[in-house]
Amino acid sequence: MSFLSTLEADVKDIETWLSGNPIGKAIEADFRAAVAELESVAVADLENIVKTIGVAALGGLASGGTSGAIAAGIAAAGPAFKAAQADITTKTVNTLVATVVNQVSAAKAA
């Protein structure tokens, strides 16, 4: 079996697990809810919010590592979403911040 075939089989296994497992269904529902929330924000506003989170995360990385970056990103995200008049749940904010922090950390390490 080639690498690509193995990868495709793994993806199918994951899709099967997600669709047939209560935890997988919850993950999928959370994902869809987060996407719907973020799609309600204007693209330009969302770009600015992500930049705001990224700048805060960089400062947090410098002073407190990953946990500092996440805390700084969350602290910056709330006012940024409020300024954009976007009603976003804490779960979506936390997920977005963690994603931005992971990307900022990877870029900083490179």
**pLDDT per position as a tens digit, 14-50:** 888 878 889 888 888 888 899 999 999 999 999 999 9
| pTM, rounded to two decimals | 0.77
**105 and 68, same domain (yes or no):** yes
**13 and 33, same domain (yes or no):** yes
Cβ neighbours of residue 66 closer than 8 Å, sequence gap 6 or more: 101, 105
Range of the domain at 63: 42-110
In this structure, the number of other CB atoms found within 10 A of the CB of residue 57 comes to 29
**32 and 52, same domain (yes or no):** no
User: Which tokens belong to 20?
Assistant: 């047939």
pLDDT at 1 over 80: no
Number of separate domains in the chain: 2
